[in-house]
């Protein structure tokens, strides 16, 4: 089943030019926002969209460039639009997302607003289980290494696209699992352009993958100097902010 991804941002956590790497996935008119960072609202506004026009939000991990916009989304949905949308959260992250990230701003005991479920239709995702989020749209979350001791997930979308969220360079995962066992046709991978590899895969590391794999890799979560690296990426493609990409069969 084909679907479209519109990158509402393609930048690193500290990028100013390209916004947070968050993606709007569109399948059969169902709009799913993958992560909701602190630039998500502005980027959606530039596209003429409000949170009321999105059907769901999926969270991969708890960093501000991936969840920093959830407080605004919750307030707008509750007080302005008077509606709930689906919030898909890995089960192991749900408690921390509320207690450690959102509770201080959202909780209002006077109005009995004391949990994620008071603002969203909360749906918990289990690792390794393919979940049908909508007709024609399946997502499976797998835990991948970003920052040691902090839980973070990547996604398999419709059994054809691997979406890395934030991840260290794990060639065995990409070659053996994503391309070998899963036979994914596309890899959307975060990419640190310069400096030593610490919590993200670097362009230099990704270039060590077999050259026949490069054409399947789409790069995101890069620094503001991306244009200076286009000629260094070989057959890999830099995803561009606000552009729409079609994937699937």
Q: Which CATH architecture has domain 3-243?
A: 4-Layer Sandwich (3.60)
Give the pLDDT mean for 70-75.
98
Tell me the pLDDT band of 1, cut-offs 50, 70 and 90: confident
The full 3-state SS of 4-23, as one line of letters, equals EEEEEECECCCCCCCCECEE
Is the pLDDT reported for residue 248 higher than 90? no
Is the pLDDT reported for residue 210 higher than 80? yes
DSSP 133-168: EETTEEEEEEE--SSTTS--EEEEETTTEEE-SS--
Per-residue pLDDT of 112-152, as tens digits, reads 999 999 999 999 999 999 999 999 999 999 999 999 999 99
Query: What is residue 201's predicted lDDT score, i.e. its pLDDT?
Result: 97
Check if the beta carbon of residue 87 is closer than 8 Å to that of residue 57: yes
Give the pLDDT mean for 1-7.
92
Helix (H) or strand (E) holding 32, with range, is strand 30-34
Is the pLDDT reported for residue 249 higher than 70? no
Nearest to 64 by CA among 33, 28, 39: 39
Give the pLDDT mean for 24-53.
97
What are the domain boundaries of the chain?
3-243
Give the mean pLDDT of the chain: 97
Give the pLDDT mean for 194-222.
96
Both structure tokens of 238:
């830099």
Beta bridge partners of 223: none
Query: What is residue 82's predicted lDDT score, i.e. its pLDDT?
Result: 97
**How many helices and strands (H and E) does the chain possess?**
8, 14
Give the pLDDT mean for 215-219.
98
Position with higher pLDDT, 248 vs 44? 44
Give the pLDDT mean for 174-191.
98
């Amino acid at each position: 089943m084909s679907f479209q991804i519109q990158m509402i941002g393609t930048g690193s956590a500290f990028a100013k030019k390209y916004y947070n790497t968050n993606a709007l996935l569109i399948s059969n008119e169902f709009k799913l926002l993958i992560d909701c960072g602190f630039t998500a609202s502005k980027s959606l506004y530039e596209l003429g969209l409000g949170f009321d026009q999105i059907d769901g939000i999926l969270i991969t991990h708890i960093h501000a460039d991936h969840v920093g916009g959830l407080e605004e989304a919750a307030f707008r949905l509750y007080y302005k639009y008077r509606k709930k949308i689906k919030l898909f959260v890995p089960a192991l992250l749900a408690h921390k997302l509320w207690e450690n990230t959102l509770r201080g701003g959202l909780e209002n005991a006077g109005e009995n607003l004391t949990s994620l479920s008071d603002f969203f239709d909360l749906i918990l995702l289990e690792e390794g289980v393919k979940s049908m989020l909508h007709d024609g749209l399946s997502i499976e979350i797998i835990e991948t290494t970003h920052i040691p001791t902090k839980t973070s997930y990547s996604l398999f979308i419709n059994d054809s696209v691997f979406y890395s969220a934030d991840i260290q360079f794990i060639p065995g995962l990409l070659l053996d699992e994503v391309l070998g066992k899963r036979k994914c046709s596309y890899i959307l991978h975060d990419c640190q352009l310069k400096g030593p590899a610490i919590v993200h895969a670097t362009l230099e590391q990704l270039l060590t993958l077999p050259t026949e794999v490069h054409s399947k890799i789409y790069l995101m979560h890069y620094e503001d100097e991306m244009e200076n690296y286009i000629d260094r990426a070989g057959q890999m493609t830099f995803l561009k902010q606000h552009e729409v990409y079609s994937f699937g069969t």
